[in-house]
Structure 1
Amino acid sequence: MIKPITHMPKGYECPFCRVISGLDVPNNGTKQEDVIFKNDYVTAFIASKSWPNNKGHVLIVPNQHVENIYELPKEYAGEIHQAAQIVAFAMKDTYRCDGITTRQHNEPAGSQDVWHYHLHVYPRYKRDFFYLTRGLQTKPEKRAIYAEKLKKWIEAHL
C-alpha cells in the first residue's frame, strides 16, 4: 500500500481528539453534551455546523486518531458504519426525516477540513435543497435539542 501524505499543519490540535478525550472544543465548537454515543472504537456527536434544512446532523469518528480513509484500520470501518446505522434509525424515528445521507471527505481536494477521519450522517427531507446550502456554526443550546432526542432513542434501543 502507498502511504498517503499528511495534510495536517504542523502543531495541529485535533478538535475531535479533544471530544474523544472528554474535553470541549472552545467557543461554539463541540461540547461533551453533543456526544450521543461512544464505545471502545467510535464516538458520535451532533456536528457544530448545521445545514438550514437538515439540523441535528451527526459526526462519527474513530477514537483512534487517523487522518483519513487511507489510514483507517478495517476494524474501525465496521464500527463506524454500525454506529451510522444506529444513528440513521434514531434520526428516522425521532426527527421523522424522509431519508438519510452519509458523506465522508478525504484530503483538501475532497473537501476535508478537519484532519481526523469522520463520517457525516444527515437527516434528509423532500425538497430540502441540501446540495444548494452550506453549514453554519450552531450554538450549543440549539444542538442540545437534537443531542437529547438521539441520546434517549439510543439508550432505549441498545
Structure 2
Amino acid sequence: MENCIFCKIIAGEIPSSKVYEDDQVMAFLDISQTTKGHTLLVPKEHVRNVLEMSEATASTLFARLPKLARALKTATGAPAMNIINNNEEIAGQTVFHAHVHLVPRYQENDGIKIEYTTHEPDFDALGKLAEQISKEVDA
C-alpha cells in the first residue's frame, strides 16, 4: 500500500533498525522505544490487522513470535515481556498494517500500565456470550 509506513520500511524506502527478516515477515525496533528493545513484528503482506488476516498469514506471523521473543529477552536481559496486538483505533492501533509489539519489561512499577478490571462474574451471561462466540467461530 503506497502510504503505509510499514510497507515502506519493508521495501527499504524508509530506514529501520531491523532485527529479523525472512521471506514473509520482518521485525524491527519501534522508533518510540517504550522500553529498551521495543520491537515490532510485521507480515510483509499488507493487511490491516489480525481481524482481516488470513489463517496462513497469521500462522506465519505468530510462528516467528516465540523465537523473536526469546532472542529479545536474551539480548536485552529483560526478565519479562508484554506481547501486544492492537486492532482498530479504539483499541490503540495507530498504524494500519498488522503488527505485534514486543515490549521488554525490566522492573515492576516502571510507569507502563496495562490494567484489567475485575468484578464478580455473571456466569449465566458468560455462558450465553461464550455460546454466541462459539457459533461465530464455527460459521
Is 1:76 aligned to residue 53 of structure 2?
no
Q: 2:11 aligns with which of 9, 15, 21?
A: 21
Q: Using the alignment, how far apart are the partners of 2:70 and 2:88 within structure 1?
A: 29
Map 1:5-20 → 2, pairs under 5 A = 13-20=3-10
The structure number with the bigger radius of gyration is 2
1:122 aligns with 2:112: no
CA-based RMSD: 1.8
Q: Deviations over 1:78-112 (max 9, x none)?
A: 22223221221112211111111111111111111
Q: Give secondary structure in 2 for the equivalent of 1:88.
A: helix
Indicate if the aligned counterparts of 1:56 and 1:122 stay in contact, CA closer than 8 A: yes
| Superposition deviation, residue 12 in structure 1 | 6.8
Q: Alpha-carbon deviation of 1:115?
A: 0.9
Higher relative contact order (CA 8 A, sep 6+): 1
Separation in structure 2 between the aligned mates of residue 92 and residue 116 of structure 1, nearest angstrom: 25
How far is 1:119 from its partner? 0.4
Equivalent pairs counted in the alignment come to 113
Residue of structure 1 aligned with 2:92, choices 98, 111, 135: 111
> Post-superposition, which runs of at least 4 consecutive aligned residues in structure 1 deviate over 4 A?
none
Gaps of 5+ in 1: 1-10, 25-30, 133-158
Letter in 2 for 1:75: A
**1:1-158 to 2 correspondence within 5 Å?**
13-24=3-14, 31-32=15-16, 34-51=17-34, 54-127=35-108, 128-131=110-113
DSSP 3-state at the match of 1:13: coil
Given the two structures, how large is their TM-score scaled by the length of structure 1? 0.66
Report the counterpart of residue 28 of structure 1 in structure 2.
none
Distance 1:45 1:100 in 2: 16
**Closer, same or farther in 2 for the Cα pair 1:18/1:124, shift >3 Å?**
same
CA contact (8 A) 1:44 1:83 kept: no
